[in-house]
Amino acid sequence: MSVDREKNQDMAQVAHGDTAHPDITFLLAGAADGVEIGIAPYQAVVRGGRRRRARRWAVASAAALVIATSTGALALAGIGGGDGDRVAPATQPATRPPSPEERRVYVPLWTTLASGTDRGREWWVDIGIWGAPRNEAEARRQFNAMAERGVKPSDARTPKELVGKASFFVNRVFDGVKSPLMLGEIDKSDDMSGKDMQSAAFPLEPDVSENPDTRNRLVIGQVAPTARAVTCTWDDGTTTVARKVPYSTMNNIEDPAIRSVPGSKAAWFVCLAGEGREYKSVKVTG
């Protein structure tokens, strides 16, 4: 990521703040084939797949279209963004366990999932991972560190509920404006396999209430680490294929890709429709 981009993101954080919105309506849906549920202003589609333990996952945009595969629950909630370093954790000697700082418990590790330019305006999508606290003391300090950055875990109401669970926050930055899009928890039971998927489609631009382009062009999701390809289909019948790349492959960050994220059990992908197109469907195809 360029120095200018880092400056833009920092400026966006100062200008727009990282505030939570706890009053967003919650949508809970059980996993079932072909079930469609709509609760204004949200629309959710829960698609087929083997039934499994409910995974909680949340989005922050009222304009988002949420698509879940092989999952038991969706929660729509307000979240705030965060900040943190984007350096890789240091390699630790095998003779001692890593410290909370080295496990990124108090400062998240950020990874860029995708970036590009749309009509001359730069955009990118980042994901920040907070490491799992191992005890209540670590959880309390993490809870306070999150609050200082204006973010709130998806489910945890008390620090104790964070023990043993990592947390992720996904932000979109468009033309210098940062918007929180997703949040969730990561614990030992959240493994994904086969064609498991969770994803959501968003407008690329923020402030859709004041913007005529409200099409859900930006698709962000998580898949099993073994997934090799994800196909996003747009409303005009065209497709975009995101393919698995090594985590270290950052040269073609503007190409759609499935990327491993340090600290996340799942791999992540981003697809963007061309101007005038909109999300229709998405599935693991390899």
Where are the chain's structural domains? 3-284
Is the pLDDT at 201 greater than 80? The verdict is yes
pLDDT at 188: 72
Give 54-79 pLDDT, tens digit per residue.
455 677 655 566 665 554 333 333 33
Residue 205: closest CA among 183, 242, 179: 179
Residue 9 sits at the vertex; the CA angle it makes with 240 and 120, to the nearest 5 degrees, is 50
Asked if residue 263 lies in contact with residue 104, where contact means CB atoms within 8 angstroms, the answer is yes
Residue 169 has pLDDT above 80, yes or no: yes
Query: Mean pLDDT score of the chain, rounded to an integer?
Result: 74
The helix or strand, by DSSP H or E, that contains position 66, with its residue range, turns out to be strand 65-69
Beta-bridge partner residues of 174: 123, 177
